[in-house]
């Protein structure tokens, strides 16, 4: 056990002292905060462009009925369309030509292509005007119709053994979706670090000296846990720095802090529940996949040779991630979603996506038990391959060869 602790310490201290680790750890939150600040600045109203729309209404149904907006103003003309086209010189001005049969022929002319938002706004206004005119012709008082129009907002509540709880899925889903993305990305990033570390030690022949003092399993376990602690440290620092930077960039003064507090309050107990599940699935998923990455690193002599092994290993995770963001969140209790959240190779992402929808306790418990069994099994398999592959050089490795290494006797 002392030897494993020494390897963990070596892996952790060596990596956190690297200049690249320090730069990335400090730079990522700053870059993210800067990115959001730039997006917010670009999206500000002052950056919008004013558009003048010259309306030629041959039907007479839309004269003086368009509503000016902050960045769109309407004027009306009786001149022919050809004359207006010749006078159209500004790239931000448009001509709206409405024929006598407005339903069949409405044209929008501009010097350059218009945005979908602009054309949709004009189209929406025309439909509202036409609908209002039809109601008036039918003898319906549109003013009274608007007065009786209701604005019902449904507040969802969940009946539990402890009473009623807020069932608004928005904040909880946002938190779980973020957790799923972080798990998906980190398994690749930090798992690849384990693999690269094994390859570097193998190709430099340092491992030959190391295994003379420790068992291959101790070396692999220490490397995996050490890199995992590095990733956990980086996550904690990122969260802390992101919170501090967001606060000092003026979130409080802008009123966004109130929105943040409302978001946190709406999560309630779900925040602690989802955070606990995130930590469990991050750790267990990392241990499961990192063991396989370590086995791959021990089986090859360079990183370019890892592709034939990497794809089959990472395919279940990639498959689940694509399904989750495109389909499974709409049917969280379907048989496919349930099975993906239980199978260890897919559970870290799938279960995080299902958490806001309160999966059955037995499903969550089964998933967690199988995750523990899964990483213990993969660690055992990877260790048997690792003990042979770490000392193999210059030999082209295949899946058949890996199977032989697994069954070699000590």
Q: In whole angstroms, how far apart are CA 208 and each of 205, 213, 292, 303, 395? A: 6, 9, 21, 19, 17
Residue 290 domain-assigned? yes
The answer to whether residue 363 sits within a structural domain is yes
Do 212 and 266 belong to one domain? Answer: yes
Q: Which residues contact 69 (CB under 8 A, 6 or more apart)?
A: 121
Q: Tell whether 152 is covered by a domain.
A: no
Same domain, 329 and 367: yes
- pLDDT at position 201, please? 77
Residue 343 resides in a domain: yes
Q: Residue 166's beta-bridge partner residues?
A: 157
H or E stretch at 38? helix 19-42
- Among the listed residues 388, 194, 150, 155, the one whose alpha carbon sits nearest the alpha carbon of residue 306: 194
Is the domain of 262 the same as that of 357?
yes
Would you give the DSSP letter of residue 17?
A: T
Say what the pLDDT of residue 47 is: 46
The answer to whether the beta carbons of residues 60 and 54 sit under 8 Å apart is no
Residues 120 and 177 in one domain: no
Whether residues 130 and 196 fall in one domain: no
**Residue 341's pLDDT is what?**
92
Within this chain, do residues 111 and 179 fall inside the same structural domain, yes or no?
Answer: no
Q: Are residues 367 and 265 in the same domain?
A: yes
Quote the strand ranges of 161-254, DSSP E.
163-166
CB atoms within 10 A of CB 228: 23
Quote the CA–CA distance of 226 and 4 in Å, as a whole number: 10
**Residue found under tokens 């089964």:** 366
Last residue of a domain, one of 114, 146, 178: 146
Question: How far, rounded to the nearest angstrom, does the alpha carbon of residue 211 sit from its chain's CA centroid?
Answer: 41
Q: What is the pLDDT of residue 125?
A: 86
> Does some domain include residue 299?
yes
CATH number at residue 105: 3.40.190.10
Angle 324-327-332 from CA coordinates, rounded to 5°: 70
- 91 lies in a domain? yes
Per-residue pLDDT in tens (0 to 9) along the chain, 410 residues: 788 888 888 888 888 888 888 888 888 777 777 776 776 666 665 446 788 888 888 888 888 888 888 888 888 888 888 888 888 878 778 888 888 765 567 888 887 777 767 888 888 888 888 888 787 777 777 676 666 666 666 665 555 566 555 555 566 677 777 778 888 888 888 888 888 888 877 777 777 677 777 787 788 888 888 888 888 888 888 877 777 776 666 544 444 444 444 444 444 556 677 788 888 998 899 888 988 888 888 887 777 777 778 888 888 888 888 888 788 878 888 899 999 999 999 999 999 888 888 888 999 999 999 999 988 888 888 888 877 777 776 667 777 777 777 777 66
Residues 191 and 128 in one domain: no
Helix (H, G, I), strand (E, B) or coil at 70: coil
Q: Does residue 196 form part of some domain?
A: yes
In a domain, 105, yes or no: yes
Which residue, 96, 112, 146, sits at the end of a domain? 146
Q: For the chain, what is the domain count? A: 2
Q: 129 with 206, same domain?
A: no
What domain range includes position 67? 49-146
Coil, strand or helix at 389: helix
């Amino acid at each position: 056990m002392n030897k494993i602790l020494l390897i963990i310490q070596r892996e952790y201290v060596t990596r956190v002292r690297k200049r690249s680790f320090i730069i990335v750890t400090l730079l990522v939150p700053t870059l993210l905060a800067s990115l959001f600040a730039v997006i917010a600045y670009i999206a500000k109203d002052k950056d919008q462009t004013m558009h003048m729309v010259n309306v030629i209404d041959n039907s007479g149904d839309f004269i003086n009925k368009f509503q000016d907006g902050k960045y769109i103003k309407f004027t009306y003309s009786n001149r022919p369309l050809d004359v207006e086209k010749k006078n159209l010189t500004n790239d931000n001005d448009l001509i709206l030509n409405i024929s006598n049969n407005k339903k069949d022929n409405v044209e929008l002319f501009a010097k350059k292509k218009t945005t979908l938002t602009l054309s949709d706004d004009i189209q929406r206004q025309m439909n509202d005007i036409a609908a209002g005119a039809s109601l008036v012709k039918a003898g319906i008082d549109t003013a009274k119709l608007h007065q009786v129009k209701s604005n019902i907002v449904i507040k969802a509540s969940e009946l539990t053994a402890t009473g009623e709880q807020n069932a608004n899925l928005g904040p909880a889903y946002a938190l779980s979706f973020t957790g799923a993305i972080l798990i998906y990305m980190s398994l690749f990033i930090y798992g690849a670090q384990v693999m690269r570390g094994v390859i570097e030690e193998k190709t430099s022949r340092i491992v030959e000296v190391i295994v003379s003092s420790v068992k291959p399993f101790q070396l692999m376990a220490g490397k995996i846990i050490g890199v995992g602690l590095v990733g956990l440290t980086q996550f904690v620092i990122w969260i802390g720095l992101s919170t501090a930077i967001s606060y000092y960039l003026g979130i409080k003064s802008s009123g966004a802090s109130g929105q943040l507090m409302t978001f946190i309050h709406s999560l309630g107990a779900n925040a602690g529940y989802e955070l606990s599940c995130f930590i469990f699935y991050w750790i267990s998923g990392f241990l499961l996949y990192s063991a396989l990455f370590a086995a791959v690193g021990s089986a090859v002599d360079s990183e370019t040779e890892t592709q034939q092994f990497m794809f089959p290993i990472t395919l279940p995770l990639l498959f689940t991630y694509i399904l989750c963001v495109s389909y499974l969140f709409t049917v969280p209790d379907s048989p496919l979603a349930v099975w993906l959240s239980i199978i260890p190779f897919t559970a870290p992402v799938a279960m995080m996506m299902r958490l806001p929808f309160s999966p059955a306790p037995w499903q969550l418990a089964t998933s967690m038990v199988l995750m523990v069994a899964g990483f213990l099994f993969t660690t055992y398999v990877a260790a048997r391959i690792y003990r042979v592959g770490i000392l193999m050089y210059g030999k082209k490795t295949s899946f058949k060869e890996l199977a032989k290494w697994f069954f070699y006797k000590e």
